[in-house]
Chains A and B, each alone.
Chain A
Amino acid sequence: MPSLLLVEDDPSIRMAIELALTRQGHRVTAAATGEEGLELWQAQRPELVVLDVMLPGLDGFEVCRRIRRTDQVPIILLTARSDDIDVVVGLESGADDYVVKPVQPRVLDARIRAVLRRHGGSVPEQADVAVFGDLSVDRSAMIVSRSGMPISLTPTELKLLVELSRRPGQALSRQQLLRLVWDHDYLGDSRLVDACVQRLRAKVELVPGDPQLIRTVRGIGYRLDPPR
């Protein structure tokens, strides 16, 4: 049973979502503020955090950033659709996915399960390692390292890099990546891809401002290039 941390300030929403997620088979711990959320996260180490953006005191973005400093736990943001810029800021602060309020419990559950799937996955028997210059992507052990030093990636970032590394030199559209990495349909938000690519570049590129590995393919999407 996956353990989740829900951070939501409105008591009714908190209670309702806790109820719904428990009903879907999750073990839910709820926090009313960002500070309480951080405490519970450190104490309980949940497998996933569902984080409301609008919180009194520490807001969702800040909580997200603080968690990301040390931990790659999957984070799903609860956001209001009207605040479109929220999504951008939220994704930049390191969230893996977001859902828009009012959310259908079924949709939230599907997103939670999709994010958690990225974490696990079947482990193949034989070693499956791709090397791009001094960067190696071990697809069997799910470890990425540069010059032997492991790089800490969130499950989503790792999944994205793995999917790209399976098709080196081949451009993948944002829609394809949304389906492969996020299990979203055609109308998923391509900004998820863009945000994740930016975060991934910051971690694996030597100069994130001048990416040599993960290249943008104008009008299509992204591709992973073996270094020249």
Chain B
Amino acid sequence: MNVYERAERRAERRGVGWWRRGLHRRGVRLGGIRPRLFAGFAAVAVITAVIITSASYYLTRAVMEDKAQQTAVSNLTDDFAAYGDQLQTGASNSGQKLEEATIANSLHQVANTIAKNGDAVVIISPTVGTISSDSNLDNVPTGFRAAAGGAMVQERLSIDGTPYILTGATLQNSGVQLYTFTDLGQEQHVLDNLVLIGAFSTLMALIGATVVAFFASRNILLPIRRLGVAARRLGRGELDVRLEVNGSDELADVSRTFNETARALALSMEELRAMDAASRRFVADVSHELRTPLTAMTAVTEVLEDVQDADPTTVSAAHLIANETKRLARLVEDLMEISRMDAGTARMRVEDVNLPELIEATIEARGWSDKVRVHAPRVLPIQVDARRIDVVLANLCGNALKHGGEPVELTVHQYPDELLIEVADNGPGIPEDALPHIFERFYKADKARGRSEGSGLGLAIAWENARLHNGELSARNRPEGGAVFTFRLPRQEMPPEESPDQQGLGAERLLSASGHDTRQWEARAR
């Protein structure tokens, strides 16, 4: 289980932090479902809000302008009716000859009076020229003036950024023209507010869309993530992993399919295991049955070995049977040992051992004292099953002596949490294509060599024994020649010695090979 998966498990347990996990694990995946959902929801929200805002903006503006225009027209018509006579004085062909200043003054008064209803008023008289109620607004475009000569006309225009409606008409038979500038500033203000409200609504819609997208993607992504986690666990061999099926959507279908697949996989694995177990049991049974005749044969091999005074054929035959009986006995013992390991019934008897002493005993017991050079500290206490370590070391050294030749060097390297025991020889090394298979059962690196002394199970048994100690064996060739077998032995806290007043014998010190967990053992012991 790597770091991410562990973090994932933790987060899964907490049920939170999935988003952070997503970021941490893969970085932000731009093409992922979540960004796509977010983008889609945001686009829909923004486009809708913009369309609604624009539509209402233009509708409102049209209505407001229309109303303002009508008001302006009716106002102008009223003004002509009310002030027609006074405006008439501005005409050049009036009956009474008046001073120009008086006329101008009079028209000014009219303009100011009319202007009281809010509009700026411009009067253009043929005699006194332009009279304006607002000095800023006196410039009526020439084209508009020409148009106003015939009928009442209107135009929308913007002066210094302020929108106006310019309405104009000419007094019948006098040539006096009256123009009003209707200020649309208030209407513009309303429209500006509308835009502001539109923008705000768009923003709110965007936030709303984000929230919706968040939950929608969660509803989709969470099952997908669960599916991913479950698939990974299935891949790791946890065949009992199942998904919770919620609802009846497509994701539920996928979950159901996953569950069915896992169930089918578990079933076929179970069948395979049963077949495997049956064949292993067969090997164990066969070995067991072979042992009874072998025990009888082994007991009398010495008799055969001592046959000397018969004819040469008989002597040879007797010796051959004696030797082959020993080989067969070893093979059957090895087969039974392997069967026990396969069945998980191999027992560990952990003891406090001084490793150098154990190495010494192993080498001495096989008469290799002159052939194996040991480089180890004098005292190195460890907790192991001495017999199993003996088997490992004896196999490694025996193998090195047989295939590598003398001198064999056994070196113990100490590290804080493990020991490395290296067995190096000066032989031709192991063929490269044989290296990966060297610990396989009945594997022979050199096919031409044919039958060898051992059972063909020695290194496989050594490997299993190393594994029982949570250690491992590996083989490689040295650059300078020769093979090196390395036994990595973790320095772990093995079950403690029984307490002084403990009555039970040995049985508690037996450690099931399948249960490597020391804590479990301790719990049982207490």
- The stretch of B8-16, B368-376, B501-509 that contacts the partner chain: B501-509
A contact residues around B500 at 8 Å (CB): 211, 215-218
Out of B300, B333, B361, B496, name the residue touching A186 (CB < 8 Å). B361
Q: Given A81-B333, A186-B357, A216-B500, A198–B505 Cβ distance below 8 Å?
A: yes
B329 contacts the other chain (Cβ, under 8 Å)? yes
Q: Is B498 an interface residue (CB 8 A)?
A: yes
A148 at the interface (CB under 8 A from B): no
CA distance in complex: A81, B497 (Å)? 23
Q: Residue A101 at the B interface, CB < 8 A? A: yes
A84 and B299 contact, CB distance less than 8 A: no
Residues on B with C-beta less than 8 A from A174 are: 351
Give chain B residues whose Cβ lies under 8 Å from the Cβ of A215.
Answer: 500
* B321-370 at interface with A (beta carbon < 8 Å): 329, 333, 336, 340, 345, 347, 349, 351-352, 357-358, 360-362, 365
B386 close to A (CB within 8 Å): yes
Say yes or no: is A103 at the interface (Cβ < 8 Å to chain B). yes
* B497 and A191 contact, CB distance less than 8 A: no
B293, CB-defined interface residue at 8 Å = yes
Q: Is the CB of A20 within 8 A of B302?
A: yes
Total interface residues in chain B, CB < 8 Å? 44
Question: In the docked arrangement, what's the CA distance between A194 and B3, Å?
Answer: 46
Q: Which of B291, B347, B496 has the most CB of A within 10 A?
A: B291
In the complex, chain A residues 1-60 whose Cβ is within 8 Å of any chain B Cβ? 10, 12-13, 15-17, 19-20, 23
CB distance from A8 to the nearest CB of B (A): 9
- Let me know if A187 and B390 touch, CB within 8 A: yes
User: Contact: A82 with B340, CB < 8 Å?
Assistant: yes
List of B residues within 8 angstroms of A10 by Cβ: 292, 295-296
**Cα separation A165 to B498 with both chains bound (whole Å):** 23
Query: When A88-B507, A102-B299, A105-B302 are in contact, do A82 and B288 touch as well, CB less than 8 Å?
Result: yes
B231 part of interface (Cβ distance < 8 Å): no
B270-316 residues at the A interface, CB under 8 angstroms: 288, 291-300, 302-303
- B58 to chain A minimum Cβ distance, whole angstroms, is 94
Bound complex: CA A195 to CA B502 (Å): 12
Residues of A within 8 A of B360 (CB): 186
Q: Does B256 contact A (CB under 8 A)?
A: no
- Docked pose: A195 CA to B333 CA in angstroms: 26
Task: For the complex formed, measure the closest distance between the CB of A80 and the CB atoms of chain B, giving whole angstroms.
Answer: 7
Whole-angstrom distance from the CB of A219 to the nearest CB of chain B? 5
Q: Are A102 and B294 in contact (CB under 8 A)?
A: yes
A174 to B291, CA, bound (A): 31
Whether A194 contacts B506 by the Cβ 8 Å rule is yes
With a CB–CB cut-off of 8 A, which chain A residues contact B329?
Answer: 102
Min Cβ gap B84→A in Å is 129
Residue A220 interfacial (CB < 8 Å): yes
Cα distance, A78 to B218, chains bound together (Å): 69
> For the complex, would chain B's binding face be called helix, strand, loop or mixed by DSSP majority?
helix
Q: A102-B291, A219-B497 are in contact. Are A187 and B386 (CB under 8 A)?
A: yes
* A140 contacts B by Cβ under 8 Å: no
In which size bucket is the chain A interface?
35 or more
Q: Tell me whether A218 and B299 are in contact (CB under 8 A).
A: no
At the interface, yes or no: B510 with Cβ under 8 Å from chain A?
yes
Check: B499 CB closer than 8 A to any chain A CB: yes
- Give the nearest-CB partner of A191 in chain B: B506
B387 part of interface (Cβ distance < 8 Å): yes
Report yes or no: B505 in contact with A191, Cβ–Cβ below 8 A: yes
A191 touches B349 (CB 8 A): yes
Closest Cβ of chain A: how far from B156's Cβ, in Å?
Answer: 105
The residue that A80 contacts in the complex, of B291, B345, B349, B357, with Cβ under 8 A, is B291
Cβ-defined contact, A209 with B361, below 8 A: no
B523 to chain A, nearest CB (A): 19
A219 close to B506 (CB less than 8 A): no
- Inter-chain CA distance A104–B387, complex, in Å, is 19
Question: Smallest Cβ distance from B288 to chain A, in angstroms?
Answer: 7
A91 adjacent to chain B (CB < 8 Å): yes
Nearest A residue to B298 via CB reads: A102
Q: Is A185 close to B, CB under 8 A?
A: yes
B-chain residues with CB within 8 Å of residue A84 when the two chains form the complex: 347, 510
Once bound together, how far apart are the Cα atoms of A10 and B295, in whole Å?
10
The verdict on A149 contacting chain B, using a C-beta distance below 8 Å, is no
Q: Which residue from chain B places its CB closest to the CB of A52 in the assembled complex?
A: B295
Q: In the complex, what residues of A have CB within 8 A of residue B386's CB?
A: 186-187
A-chain residues with CB within 8 Å of residue B294 when the two chains form the complex: 102
Residues of B near any A CB (own CB < 8 A): 288, 291-300, 302-303, 329, 333, 336, 340, 345, 347, 349, 351-352, 357-358, 360-362, 365, 386-387, 390, 496-503, 505-507, 509-510
| Pairs of residues from A and B, 10 with the lowest C-beta to C-beta distance, nearest first | A186-B361, A16-B299, A12-B296, A102-B295, A216-B500, A102-B298, A16-B296, A191-B506, A101-B295, A13-B296
Q: A10-B292, A84-B510, A186-B361 are known; give 7 further A-B pairs, CB within 8 A.
A: A12-B293, A92-B505, A101-B291, A105-B299, A211-B501, A218-B499, A220-B352
15 CB < 8 A contacts A-B: A12-B293, A13-B296, A16-B296, A82-B336, A88-B505, A91-B506, A102-B295, A102-B299, A102-B329, A186-B357, A186-B365, A194-B506, A198-B505, A208-B503, A219-B497
Q: Which residues of A contact B (CB under 8 A)?
A: 10, 12-13, 15-17, 19-20, 23, 80-82, 84-85, 87-88, 91-92, 101-106, 174-175, 185-187, 190-191, 194-195, 198, 208-211, 215-220
